[in-house]
Amino acid sequence: MLYLTRKENFSAAHRLFREDWSDEENERVFGKCSNPGGHGHNYVLYVTVKGEMNPETGFVVNLKTLSSIIRDNITGKIDHMNLNTQVEFMNGRMASTENLALAVWEELDPHIRMLGVELHCIKIAETENNYIEYYGKSQT
């Protein structure tokens, strides 16, 4: 069993706030992340898949294929977008890195399975100082 990780980048705007909270409450909990004008990040996404090596190719999975899946389903829909208002798979979710990791897992999982390997981990770094890792429901 081998683990293969592909790193992809995207830049996006977001804002953390709840409409059902007062400005003060949003400010208290989310601080500068609730600034009404929004802000943004150069996000870094790491997709790790797990599988046996194909002895014919020496690959767990073809990186070109994996990269295409990530671009078609995630970065192509999210790069240079606003996570609060323009990304369908984030509708109805707080635009936190935690929710983004959960949503990316859900979007990618069926496509990764079709490659004959398992999705193992979605890691998203919002800045170089913090990141989220999600290993799927089975791991809970």
Task: Evaluate whether 67 touches 46 at the Cβ level (below 8 Å).
Answer: no
Residue 45 interacting with a copy of itself (CB under 8 A): no
Residue 22 interacting with a copy of itself (CB under 8 A): no
Residue 115 interacting with a copy of itself (CB under 8 A): no
Compute φ and ψ for 25, nearest 5 degrees. -65, -45
* DSSP-derived 3-state class of residue 105: helix
Task: Evaluate whether 49 touches 40 at the Cβ level (below 8 Å).
Answer: no
Nearest to 49 by CA among 138, 128, 135, 139: 135
Q: Least distance (Å) from a copy of itself to the CB of residue 113? A: 19
Q: Least distance (Å) from a copy of itself to the CB of residue 106? A: 14
Residue 53 interacting with a copy of itself (CB under 8 A): yes
Q: Least distance (Å) from a copy of itself to the CB of residue 59? A: 6
- How many residues of this chain bind a copy of itself (CB under 8 A)? 62
Residue 112 interacting with a copy of itself (CB under 8 A): no
By annotation, the residues acting in catalysis are 33, 80, 126
Q: DSSP character for 114? A: T
